[in-house]
Amino acid sequence: MTERIEFKDIRHIIHVAVILLVVIAGFIIARSASVPKSFGQYGHYRGRSIEERMNLPVVFQSIQTCLDCHEEESGEVWVGSEYWQEGVHSVNACENCHSKCKEHVERMKANPDLKEFVITKDTSDKLCLTCHGILAARPKVPEPYDHKKHLEEHNMKDGQRCIECHVPHYPAI
């Protein structure tokens, strides 16, 4: 014995199917509206985010950037010269002692004849001592250094600044 399916039964199925379709369509529309386009491009995240990260600006300047312009002996300080290259501070990024380097580079590139500088020159002993002061935890390279003893040894009065005897760009004497 077979059951007969009447047309009025099929109508119920169509109703359910239509509702289901509307729900699915609604979900797809809502999803495509709320999920960013690049989501899932590489994985479960916004693929464009990678590009956004890559396009952030570079601020801290490499030594090479500075040397592009300061290649020759520059005044008293020997930056970029043979001395500097062989000196112990050639591994020391310029920006460790000079700040606002990015602004300086941009300004000098735009107008090399400027005579007003935004870049700073930190001439304090404090700066030298962040790297050279004696600390128990500090390894022996560079030679940890006792300012007071140092000055006594060299017969100098207290308060004489490091850069009066050491050229910051070529400090070894």
Partner 1 sequence: MKVSRRDLLKRACLLVPAGAVVLSRRLLGAGDKAPKKKYSLKGHKYTFIVDTRKCIGCGACVRACKLENEVPKGFFRTWVERYTIGKDSKVTVDSPDGALHGFQELESVPLTEVAKAFFVPKLCNHCSDPPCVPVCPVGATYQSPDGVVLTDPNYCIGCAYCIQACPYGVRFKNPDTRTADKCTWCYHRITRGLLPACVEACPTGARQFGDVADPDSPTAKVLHSERVDVLRKELGTDPKVCYIGLDTEVR
List residues near ligand HEC by CB under 6 A. 61, 63, 65-66, 68-70, 74-77, 79, 88-89, 92, 94-98, 101, 104-105, 108-109, 112, 117, 119, 121-123, 125, 127-132, 141-143, 145, 147, 150, 154, 156, 160, 162-166, 168-169, 171-173
Q: How far is the CB of 104 from partner 1 (least distance, A)?
A: 13
Q: Does 62 bind partner 1 (CB under 8 A)?
A: yes
How many residues of this chain bind partner 1 (CB under 8 A)? 37
Residue 126 CA to residue 147 CA, distance in Å, equals 11
Q: Does 137 engage in binding with partner 1 (CB under 8 A)?
A: yes
Measured from the CB atom, the residue of 12 and 53 that comes closer to partner 1 is: 53
- Nearer to ligand HEC (CB atom), residue 39 or residue 77: 77
Q: Per residue in 39-77, is it b (16+ CB within 10 Å) or e — as a string?
A: eeeeeeebeeeeeeeeeeeeeebebebbbeebeeeeeeb
In the set 53, 115, 148, 157, which binds partner 1 (CB under 8 A)? Answer: 53
